Amino acid sequence: MILNENEAKNLLTKVLSYSKADSASASLEGNNTYNIRFARNSISTNGFSDGLSVRISSSIGKKTGSVSTNKFDEASLKNAVKMSEDIARVSPDNKEFMPPLGSQTYLNAVNFSENTESLKGEDRSQKISYIIDKSVSSDVTSAGYMEDEVTFIAIQNTSGLFAYNKASMAKLSSTVRTNDGTGSGRFERNYVDVNKIDGNSVADWAIGRSKLSVNPGEIKPGRYTVILEHAAAADMLNLCIDFMGSREADEGRSYFSKKGGGTLIGEKIADDKVNIYSDPADVNAPSVPFTGSGEPMNRVVWFENGVLKNLHRNRYWAEKTSQPAMPYPSNIIMQGGTKSVDELIAESEDAVLVTRFWYIRTVDPKTMLLTGLTRDGVFEIKNGKITRPVKNFRFNESPMNILKNIITLGSSEKAVGAETDDYPIYVPAMKVANFNFSSLSDAI
């Protein structure tokens, strides 16, 4: 269920009117979500979900309790507020309690599109129908997913804060496998505006990639120059940001901790070409301009010309360490160059092209060592051309090694990695030296 700003404000005001706590905040979230899933060149499951829920956090002194519910009759709301207060009352003092924020100013949001809100059932069917029909006529098998939704979030507290954001998101993805089981291609797109998804074009590309990747040969595992396409680069960037917590670094248990104490902020720890920032109002990767507690999200530079500029930290840690509060970013943007992936290939003498990654996990937080696999097309490049498809690899590599070993950045685009989900990332394809492939995988 989508409430407009006034409706949300009225409901939150009502919820907070039941509060007997020293301070309280309430947040509403609602959604209208449609999805269609397909596999084996046919529709499989689908659904529509209409949801609305409220979370109430009550504080008595430095004790806080939170309760969420999706029942909105008066008795249930009163009960939820009372329950959050009861939880707070029986809790010990939270030594890291921070008082609620007062009224805030937010960037203008650009994360809603009427095109997505007005999408019809036949529009969804048409997008999927093209992929399925083209897969059948191309003698390949596709599986995929389309989802479009409108959501809203509204936050109000007893100190005068109110925040509201209505958002939309449309996503389409498909994995295309050749019928002999030796080739695979995949695309995934998500945009605020459904009209930005050129489903037919990306489906054609994925079908082409599946055929290009059939019967892969072997390259010996080892360290190679790689071209990471956008989806692969997005995963590395996203996971790197995950590690960039200020508190862990200050406490000496992070890659970003300095030996002997302190952090690496201000030090050049990546290649000169690395410039990474967050900005919810950037149209290339728009996001909600506030956090779940109503803290404003503004433009923050994380890396500038390879120098680490900031680490993210909550309000408590910021106050304790006399540093600025820096919420976990709601999007990531990395400046790229001008070259397309094809141009990066054309200028490469000896490299491996990686389309995507899969199942990435942390092996060692000290070195930020990650493991995972390649998928949906790995190709040998010799003298500026793709010469043959090669088998998938398991890699063991640190995203910071990647940021240190950049040779060339391609142009940036909105990308979805294996582990990024809906997190907005605008990232360049990257040509990187010395990437560590640990072993081969027979998986397609």
- Looking from the CA of 144 toward its CB, the CA atoms found within 13 Å total 33
Distance CA 165, CA 104 (A): 14
Residue with smaller CB distance to other proteins, 24 or 109:
24
Return the range that interacts with other proteins (CB under 8 A); candidates 51-59, 274-282, 291-299, 377-385. 51-59
The least distance separating other proteins from the CB of residue 170, rounded to whole angstroms, comes to 14
Report if residue 216 touches other proteins, rule: CB under 8 A.
no
Report if residue 69 touches other proteins, rule: CB under 8 A.
yes
- CA–centroid distance for 153 within its chain: 18
Going residue by residue from 169 to 208, which x/- string records binding to other proteins, judged by CB under 8 A?
----xxx-x--------x----------------------
Distance CA 278, CA 359 (A): 25
Angle between helices 199-212 and 121-137 (to 10 degrees): 20
Distance CA 329, CA 241 (A): 9
Report if residue 444 touches other proteins, rule: CB under 8 A.
yes
DSSP for 140-175 reads EEEEEEEEEEEEEEEEEETTS-EEEEEEEEEEEEEE
**Kind of pairing between the strands at 332-334 and 425-441:** parallel
Residue 17 Ramachandran class (φ > 0 left, ψ -120 to 50 alpha, else beta): alpha
Distance CA 75, CA 410 (A): 57
Residues 364-423 that bind other proteins (CB under 8 A): 364, 366-369, 371-373, 375, 392, 394, 396-398, 401, 421
CB 406 within 8 A of CB 237: no
Selected from 68, 215, 321, 387, the binder of other proteins by CB under 8 A is: 68
Residue with smaller CB distance to other proteins, 335 or 362:
362
Instruction: Show the tokens assigned to 409.
Output: 């950045």
Residues 223-252 that bind other proteins (CB under 8 A): 251-252
Return the range that interacts with other proteins (CB under 8 A); candidates 43-51, 277-285, 302-310, 332-340. 43-51
The least distance separating other proteins from the CB of residue 119, rounded to whole angstroms, comes to 12
Instruction: Show the tokens assigned to 437.
Output: 């492939």
Report if residue 359 touches other proteins, rule: CB under 8 A.
yes
Report if residue 132 touches other proteins, rule: CB under 8 A.
yes
- CA–centroid distance for 5 within its chain: 26
Return the range that interacts with other proteins (CB under 8 A); candidates 105-113, 120-128, 231-239, 283-291. 120-128
Residue with smaller CB distance to other proteins, 95 or 220:
95
Selected from 137, 259, 349, 383, the binder of other proteins by CB under 8 A is: 259
Residue with smaller CB distance to other proteins, 69 or 284:
69
**Kind of pairing between the strands at 300-304 and 276-278:** antiparallel
Report if residue 260 touches other proteins, rule: CB under 8 A.
yes
Instruction: Show the tokens assigned to 9.
Output: 């404000």
Selected from 18, 38, 302, 303, the binder of other proteins by CB under 8 A is: 38
Instruction: Show the tokens assigned to 236.
Output: 């590395």
Report if residue 53 touches other proteins, rule: CB under 8 A.
yes
Report if residue 17 touches other proteins, rule: CB under 8 A.
no
Total site size for other proteins, rule CB under 8 A: 100
Residue with smaller CB distance to other proteins, 299 or 366:
366
